[in-house]
Amino acid sequence: MDFMHYQPLWGEALLTLLAVLIVLLGSLMKGSGKLMGYLSLAGIVAALGLVASNLTAKPALFFFDTISVDALSQFFKAVFLIVSLLVVIASLSKYTGKGADEYYALLLFATVGMMIVSSSIDIVTLFVGFELASLSTYAMAAFDKTKKNLEAAMKYFIFGSVASALMLFGFSLLYGMTGSTKLADIAAASLDSFGPATVVALLFVIVGFAFKMALVPFHMWAPDTYEGAPPLVSALLAAGSKKMGFAAAFRVLLIALVALRLDWYMAFAVLAAVTMTLGNLAACWQNNVRRILAYSSVAQAGYIAIGFVVVGAAYGSAPVNVFNLGAWPADQLGIAGALLLILGHALMKTGAFIGTAQVAGMVSASSQNDPDDISNYAGLASRAPITAFCMLIFMFALAGIPPTAGYIGKFVLFSSAIYSGLTWLAVIAILNSALSLVYYLRIISYMYLKAPVGPKVAEQKGYVAALVITMLAVVWIGVFPDGFIEWAGAAASVLLP
Amino acid sequence: MIANAISMMIAIPLLGAVLSFFAGTKAKFVALLASLAPLVLSLQMYMEFDKTSKIMQFVESYDWIPSLGVKYTVGVDGIGFPLVLLSAIVSILVIIYSWGETNKPNQYFALLLLNEVGVLGVFTSLDFFLFYIFWEVVLIPMFFLIGSWGGPRKDYAAIKFFIYTHVASLVMLLAIFALYFTYQTPEGGRTFDMLTLLAATADKTIFPTGLLNIIFAGLLLGFLVKMPAFPFHTWLPDAHVEAPTAGSVVLAALLLKMGGYGLFRIIMPMLPSVDKAFVTIIAIIAVISIVYGAFMALAQKDIKKLVAYSSVSHMGFVTLGAVAFTWMSVTGAMFQQFSHGIITCVLFMSAGTIQHVVGTRIIADLGGLADRMPKFAVLMMAGFMASLGLPGMSGFVAEFMVLTGSYATLPSYTMFVVFLSVATTAAYHLWAMQKAMFGPILKKYMNVHEPHAYELFSMAMIIVLSLIFGLQPGLITDMMGTAATQVMEPVMTLTQMGVTGGVI
């Protein structure tokens, strides 16, 4: 076997081996949770280094053309690895005792699953990666074994399984019609000739993805799960596993099913508009911060879905001069915008959920009420100044205030809608951004304007490290977005003819 | 010639804000030093400023986000520079006035400095992207100043202020995007460059009138809310009443000027190309603001709310002067911005001092304070006289110029203002003064004493400035006049109006 040939996949291999090793070591050495955490950290950093050394990879195919390493897969892998890295750093402050080895092993398996999804160009490989990530996160959602955890995990599991089943059924129809599981072959077959079966297949595939992406009306599980799961796992779910849905949907819809784009793009236009509006409205009425973040995450999924609409509307359009980037087709700009927002949102949400973990840790010791209730955030600025400041930046970034990562993603994405003649969608999205400020501002006003509900506390070192790194990254992307825009553009071009 | 004067002016208070935050109780010294730098720099710039030049001066331009056409471009001309000077003066005086702040002083002074960074940025940015960022930056310190140091209903006032003005900013942002996405540079790219985009709005083939009307309306809304003009003023009384004194001063003296600055910098160059109905609409809004503000002030029980409504009225003169299109009215309106900026400081400082010396701001509960605090009474009286337009002080010159200049083109509106508001303005100022400060002293106020020296010092400095600029308005109106000529050029070719002026 040519070892060097597989060099682009060493990251996945490394993390898989590491996960197995951690499980083995964990059963031999009790109470070595901290060590496992550092091992995972080292593994993820190494994998991230591998991805970073080859960011805009030339497409290379592996394993009988089922895995492709290209700029798009590298982009998503970078996002997933960064999220996992941040979660691991934060977890070093929480998961150190008994059972921590399982936690880190599951986290690594989930990461590997997501990485496989981002590289898959075959629906079976894609499904395997999808399930690897899903099954690992189902277990993680119940990891603290509180009553809330179990409820959250149960909901997540049931909805997730149904979504997987629907998706698999859609895939089986595609396979039945075309005789191939490869995305390229499915694209080559003239799907239109199969009549209603095509529509059914399309419907199942979209609904399956929509569950994972938490688009309205398939979002009901998200607030319950993000609220009930351990906060660090919520970070992984909202920032990582949800983005996996987008990674899969990009590949399947834009490569395999692009011939049917006229059928799916209006569906996505409606889904996007409804999702962002409903998500933002619902978030305004919540009192639980993690539910607010969950609904905000639903709304962000609505923004990101604009990317699909733009591609559907402008697929194959002639390049136009966009900004000062030279000639780009509008569809490329749309995908690039969606990718930028995925990157930005992954960072902002990871940070925000780690912030809630910090607060929940401050409360649960002393009080009986809901640790995520917004009243616990009163006076956070004086109780935990670093956490409060980072949360402040994340809230502004989520609302899309410049110069932050949230702003640049929205800017490129909404611009692409304008370039492809979807000004109405861009206007709805911008109005939604204004609306979202209501609930972000509410959290800020609790943190900074209300009298503190308790004394100053020592902030957990791991949380603080993760928060500060994330905050700096969010600001960095916003202030120097040039390289990121070009990177996202290169990744987007993989999906286009 | 100082290299990078504007960037330094923005960077030093920003650095000062960070240092103040970590300086604990020493924050006020850091803040004083950090706010001294922009003052010194702006005075130096004043010496070097070419008052007859119509082009931007002290320009700095660097690429920031080339792929989006965003540049870091700053520069000043006769429109921006007086406001830069105003920001530098007001910021340092406010910091001196707040010398005794003991509640979280590090954050307090850091926010005041951050605010200075924001307004200086707004008045100097020549790139729409940069302009918008500074425009938003200003909201944040003010939100916290109101929300953390404010009165009883501070949460409500802070959030109302933020959401109201942020929504208006977003409308403005949409309009900026429309400009950005419509105009293509000769190289086929996009640019946020303010002067390029504004010059392009005159070209009907790029910006058809219908589109430009919508863009114009969006920008106008953003500025009118900030000014604030009737009927978009409702956030102002709440914000002012709840804000701490320094917050109110900065809000009235600097933040409102951002709206007026937008009128001159962005709205006026576009006026010749848009529907003429806008002129009527803006003139009506201006007149209603002047008259309505004055009458509302007359009806207030709280002296601070009275001053807040007087701001609405005074800022109406800026709008009226801008839209009246004569050289004198435009120069006068620019001068009114500067003049109101300094005078309003004394009014809010007076209200704040009364509040913390006496414990109430309700005019009916006050009386005879001049007996116990004569120095303060003199300064407050001088401030109120300046505000009501006493000849010899800057407010008179500015409003006189606006009214005289406007009479040439908008006689009916002007007469309406003269008849309904000039007397009312005098009435509410004198009535408040008489009721609060003079008359027999109430028994419960026998122990009241003069405020701190630093408070009196700040107020006295402003009175002196108001006198200087009232007697020698040419010090600052020269450059404003040049800028007015510059702004008027496209307008005049359109309206065929002759230049009146040259009075001062």
CB neighbours of residue B128 within 10 Å: 27
Say what the pLDDT of residue A16 is: 93
* Both tokens assigned to A17: 């081996």
Q: How many CB pairs under 8 A join A and B?
A: 69
Model confidence at B492, in pLDDT bands (50, 70, 90)?
Answer: low
Cβ-based burial of B209 (10 A; exposed 0-12, middle 13-18, buried ≥19) = exposed
Query: A430–B66: do the CB atoms touch at under 8 Å?
Result: no
> Which residues of chain A neighbour B191 with C-beta distances below 8 Å?
324
Lowest mean pLDDT among A247-261, A337-351, B325-339: A247-261
| pLDDT tens-digit readout, A131-172 | 999 999 999 999 888 888 899 999 999 999 999 999 999 999
Mean pLDDT calculated for residue range A369-374: 83
pLDDT at A56 over 80: no
- Asked whether residue A434 is assigned to any structural domain, the reply reads yes
CB neighbours of residue B39 within 10 Å: 17
Cα separation, A170 vs A126, in Å, equals 13
Cα distances (Å, whole numbers) of residue A45 to A39, A67, A132, A490: 10, 22, 21, 23
pLDDT at A1 over 70: no
Cα separation, B187 vs B189, in Å, equals 6
Q: How far is CA A430 from the centre of its chain?
A: 21
- Asked whether residue A26 is assigned to any structural domain, the reply reads no
Model confidence at B498, in pLDDT bands (50, 70, 90)?
Answer: very low
- Asked whether residue A85 is assigned to any structural domain, the reply reads no
Query: A438–B163: do the CB atoms touch at under 8 Å?
Result: yes
**What pTM, to 2 d.p., does this model score?**
0.88
Average per-residue pLDDT in chain B? 87
* Both tokens assigned to A69: 């390493």
Structural contact between residues B387 and B347, judged by C-beta atoms closer than 8 angstroms: yes
Query: Could you give the number of structural domains in chain A?
Result: 1
Query: B67–A486: do the CB atoms touch at under 8 Å?
Result: yes
- Asked whether residue A228 is assigned to any structural domain, the reply reads no
Cα separation, B476 vs B464, in Å, equals 15
Nearest one of A108, A127, A126, A144 to A21, comparing CA atoms: A108
Say what the pLDDT of residue B416 is: 81
Cβ-based burial of B188 (10 A; exposed 0-12, middle 13-18, buried ≥19) = exposed
Cα separation, A34 vs A40, in Å, equals 10
| pLDDT tens-digit readout, B441-474 | 887 887 888 888 898 999 999 999 999 998 988 8
- Asked whether residue A334 is assigned to any structural domain, the reply reads yes
B134 near A CB under 8 A? no
- DSSP letter for each residue of B466-485: HHHHHH-THHHHHHHHHHHH
| pLDDT tens-digit readout, A280-326 | 999 999 999 999 999 999 999 999 999 999 988 888 788 887 777 77
Query: A445–B148: do the CB atoms touch at under 8 Å?
Result: no
Mean pLDDT calculated for residue range B268-278: 85
Name the DSSP class of A452: P
pLDDT at A30 over 80: no
pLDDT at B491 over 60: no
Say what the pLDDT of residue B502 is: 30
Cα separation, A34 vs B297, in Å, equals 67
Alpha helices in B243-326 (DSSP H): 245-250, 256-262, 268-270, 277-298, 303-324
The SS3 call for residue B188 is coil
Closest chain A C-alpha to B142 CA, distance in angstroms: 12
Mean pLDDT calculated for residue range B262-279: 87
Q: Which carries the bigger pLDDT value, residue B52 or residue A472?
A: A472
B148 near A CB under 8 A? yes
Nearest one of A331, A219, A215 to A275, comparing CA atoms: A215
Please give the residue of chain B at the shortest CA–CA distance from A326.
B189
The SS3 call for residue A67 is strand
Say what the pLDDT of residue A6 is: 82
Say what the pLDDT of residue B113 is: 93
The SS3 call for residue A195 is coil
Cα separation, A390 vs B143, in Å, equals 18
- Which residue range(s) make up the domain with A397? 261-363+372-497
Query: B190–A418: do the CB atoms touch at under 8 Å?
Result: no
Say what the pLDDT of residue B104 is: 85
Say what the pLDDT of residue A100 is: 86
- Asked whether residue A293 is assigned to any structural domain, the reply reads yes
| pLDDT tens-digit readout, B344-396 | 999 999 999 988 888 888 888 888 888 888 888 899 999 999 998 888 888 89
Query: A481–B67: do the CB atoms touch at under 8 Å?
Result: yes
Say what the pLDDT of residue A236 is: 93
Say what the pLDDT of residue A450 is: 84
Cα end-to-end distance, chain A, whole Å: 33
- Asked whether residue A220 is assigned to any structural domain, the reply reads no
Mean pLDDT calculated for residue range B206-219: 90
Query: A321–B184: do the CB atoms touch at under 8 Å?
Result: yes
Lowest mean pLDDT among A101-105, A473-477, B113-117, B483-487: B483-487
Query: B133–A403: do the CB atoms touch at under 8 Å?
Result: yes
Average per-residue pLDDT in chain A? 89
Segment (H or E) for B63: strand B57-65
Nearest one of A148, A138, A68 to A106, comparing CA atoms: A138
Please report, as a single letter, which amino acid is at residue A299.
Answer: A
| β-strand pairing of A320-321 with A67-69 | unpaired
**Contact partners, residue B103, CB within 8 Å, separation at least 6:** B149
Query: A325–B67: do the CB atoms touch at under 8 Å?
Result: yes
Closest chain A C-alpha to B97 CA, distance in angstroms: 24
- Asked whether residue A417 is assigned to any structural domain, the reply reads yes
Model confidence at B414, in pLDDT bands (50, 70, 90)?
Answer: confident
pLDDT at B496 over 60: no
Say what the pLDDT of residue A387 is: 93
Say what the pLDDT of residue B503 is: 30
| pLDDT tens-digit readout, B77-128 | 889 999 999 999 999 999 999 988 888 888 899 999 999 999 999 999 999 9
- Residues of A in CB contact (< 8 Å) with B are 321-325, 401-403, 411, 415, 418, 427, 430, 433-434, 437-438, 441-442, 445, 448-450, 480-482, 485-486
> Which residues of chain A neighbour B129 with C-beta distances below 8 Å?
402
Cα separation, A497 vs B138, in Å, equals 46
Whose tokens are 């109470």? That residue is A31
* Both tokens assigned to A189: 């077959």
B471 near A CB under 8 A? no
Mean pLDDT calculated for residue range A38-47: 93
Nearest one of B135, B149, B167 to A441, comparing CA atoms: B167
* Both tokens assigned to A85: 């890295």
Nearest one of B307, B406, B426, B287 to B363, comparing CA atoms: B307
The per-residue b/e assignment along A411-449, b for 16 or more CB within 10 angstroms, e otherwise, is: bbbbbbbbbbebeebbebbbbbbbbbbbbbbbbbbbbbb
Query: A449–B154: do the CB atoms touch at under 8 Å?
Result: yes
**Contact partners, residue A190, CB within 8 Å, separation at least 6:** A259
Please give the residue of chain A at the shortest CA–CA distance from B188.
A321
Model confidence at B490, in pLDDT bands (50, 70, 90)?
Answer: low
Closest chain B C-alpha to A354 CA, distance in angstroms: 24
Query: A415–B129: do the CB atoms touch at under 8 Å?
Result: no
